[in-house]
Structure 1
């Protein structure tokens, strides 16, 4: 999925902690101002494609240039390449001034020492830490340390469903529990269509789904000391439950085992699948010709019964953070740019465009974020989402366990048995790949 082998890149992360300090541009580690009229910015691909992002962001960067006199050179980097590009930049020191990062990477990249720490003075320069929701800031770095980035776009998972396909199958409402989802999925899986879409070769998506299921089974993938705990009974049950949507329940098409680049959203938009679990998918559906009235959105299912609040988690705290490289040649300009991107005005505009939720509290009051789909995402973030473990090894976790789940999807697609023993063996191998 990635241009470089992601596993190899992640395996170097502990070495980066020792080497990244050489990237700093000043004795204080705060960067300098040798290029006060220019900045480089690596943006993540948030829209339906890279060209759409370029068009959206270029207009905003021109606005920033007019106000500040600082010209921003933009590059939109695909998610398949972004982390490897960032890791390479932390070792070489040849990176952008400002960049987007997936919030799940925050602690791992923080451990390299290459990113500007957002202490009180840095936050004060952009209006203060209190402007941001607590859950978003919690996913910006390790607990007890100054964040490594600033929340930019907040996301959560939801269940999207095709209203016509549900009506044709005589299903009156979206499923609220996993038992209901499986039952509905079986009714919908017929005549070349499938109940649920998945992305079996998408390592990050695999992690997001099994993390939530793990929490619902009462476990974490890291223990209280931050050590990997991939082989517990609950972790094994969570992974098996996810892969069983194909292996046992037969509600996911075998071809989904190879999906890694949003193909499940395409299948949903063209009526090949009736449901998909995704983050803020509305803009992608619209770009693929689907009308808003054709789909509905509901919270991700939870186990049947009344689980306690700890097991009622139905999404990870998803989102994008914006960070500054410590060795930037325009520290003041970088802070001004982050201030601009997280201003109330830009937060409303950009999150409205991308269908995400502003992590800035004041921007959430905009009526646009009270629409049915965004209301589900917002309520999930407020009430039932939890951040992925903010540990330095989180990136290796995504590769090791994400790959283990990918291999199990491949077994299911090929008709090979997916058993408790085979799941435990795959997770044992993943845990053995983690740094000691």
Structure 2
């Protein structure tokens, strides 16, 4: 892995140089994303004389492909914005810069970041590769007006209560459903399976991360529960089998869904301009699994993955100093506050977070959800886990669109995914 600053670029001599940065396309906030990129381009050039050239990836699979191609060729973006769950995958390649004390000092110090934001920066504090750009805890939105009309006084604390409430809130004649789901989203479905599984006591790998456990019956049960919202319980719009996150959020924003689980603070940008403005709240997800009134032995209070975006620097970059200047800029307190206002993500920098809590009461709700976050497995095999669970859902959608699914087919898909993950885990040990 790369270490130590290289080159003579940076604030003193950046003119004529181009820093290439890869970020997520973020279709839910396309205009805000373009505005942010333009803002950073202007400010970076003003500070360094250099130019930032942004490119985007569209999905987790696209992200992984771009990283692999660049590693093999030794050319590509200088900086990658990657999800926290993909940081272990990037680390395992040995192709990204391990941040030194000098690097952190140039960025503004490791201690300026929220401790929770650093949870997925590396396997330990001495081997960080990720500089936190944002935190994005997952939770649940609920429509307070619809809850009041249905005589429901508080959001559900268990998944059984969630389902009971969803049934009570569903009014098909009015086109209103108890909850919205985004079954076709490229990022969200696996998180439901992970949440249900961990709360029930299952783990996706053994504790020493040597054995894949996607064939655990409790994980198959987690998939069943996820599909049953549509297939047997009928508490979601049948059209949701083809929805992504933006479409599910739009249904909630139009008052057509009373709850929206597995949503992050970014939704606020849409909701504050919608029909439900002033009549929704953000709360942690239920923490008790289906069929229980308390978590079983080994069950975790997993309300969210440790989620957000990390910025990693490619080992092959010839612009390491410029990369540090870029990281310092986007994690400065003013830019962190701007990013929060633009996208809703929690600031990763403590001073910015404190400032936003004082001016926006919703930030406290997001922090409450962040406290239920559990880190995903820090292993290079994580990509196969995440993509494997996503594929189980994707391959089941045609059947689900027809009103059902084949549980035995789900278990075969999980078995195949388990074999792939096991092969990847074996490779990590060699």
Q: Quickly name the TM-score band, shorter chain normalised.
A: 0.7 to 0.9
> What is the CA-CA distance between 1:252 and the residue it aligns to?
1.9
Correspondence 1:237 to 2:225: no
Shift in CA distance, 185/96, structure 1 to aligned 2, threshold 3 Å: same
Between the aligned partners of 1:96 and 1:73, the Cα distance in structure 2 is 9
* Among candidates 274, 278, 301, match of residue 258 of structure 2: 274
- Aligned residues of 1:65 and 1:71 also touching (Cα < 8 A): yes
Question: What residue number does 1:225 align with?
Answer: 208
Residue of structure 1 equivalent to 2:428 = none
Q: TM-score w.r.t. structure 1 length? A: 0.85
Aligned to 1:379: 368
1:5-57: CA deviation from partner (whole Å, max 9, x where unpaired): xxxxxxxxxxxxxxxx8xx7xxx686534683331222324573333211123
Question: What is the CA–CA distance in structure 2 between the aligned matches of 1:287 and 1:90, rounded to whole Å?
Answer: 41
CA distance change for structure 1 residues 257 and 30 in 2, over 3 Å: closer, same or farther?
farther
In the other structure, the counterpart of 1:74 is 54
Q: Which secondary structure does the structure 1 equivalent of 2:54 belong to? A: strand
For structure 1, which segment, 180-189 or 196-205, has the greater mean C-alpha deviation from structure 2 after superposition? Answer: 196-205
**Aligned pair in 2 of structure 1 residues 283, 64: CA closer, same or farther (>3 Å)?**
farther
> Offset of 1:151 from its aligned partner?
0.7
The one of 400, 421, 424 equivalent to 1:434 is 421
Q: Which residue of 2 aligns with 1:296?
A: 281
Residue 36 of structure 1: aligned partner = 14
What are the ranges of 5 or more consecutive residues in structure 2 without an aligned counterpart? 424-430
Q: Is the 8 A contact 1:214 1:235 kept in 2?
A: yes
Q: Which residue of 2 is the match for residue 215 of structure 1?
A: 198
Structure 1 residues not aligned, in runs of 5+: 1-20
On the 8 A contact 1:97/1:334 being kept in 2, the answer is yes
Which residue is 1:5 aligned to? none
TM-score normalized by the length of structure 2 = 0.86
Once residues 366 and 47 of structure 1 are traced to their aligned partners in structure 2, the CA distance between those partners, rounded to angstroms, is: 28
After the TM superposition, which segments of 4 or more aligned residues of structure 1 sit over 4 Å from their partners?
Answer: 28-31
1:57/1:222 CA distance change after superposition, 3 Å: same
The reply on whether 1:314 has 2:295 as its aligned counterpart is no
Match of 1:15 in 2: none
How far is 1:121 from its partner? 2.8
**Which of residues 324, 341, 357 in structure 2 aligns to 1:335?**
324
Whole-Å separation in 1 of the counterparts to 2:359 and 2:194: 28
2:358, 2:129 → 1: CA distance?
Answer: 27
Q: Which residues in structure 2 correspond to 1:96-135 (within 5 Å)?
A: 96-135=77-116
Q: CA deviation at 1:63?
A: 2.1
Given candidates 255, 260, 275, the residue that maps to 2:244 is 260
Query: Structure 1 residue 290: deviation in Å?
Result: 4.2
Q: State which of 42, 55, 61 in structure 1 corresponds to 2:35.
A: 55
Superimposed CA distance per residue, residues 350-382 of structure 1 (whole angstroms, 9 cap, x where no aligned partner): 12321111122222111446744322221222x
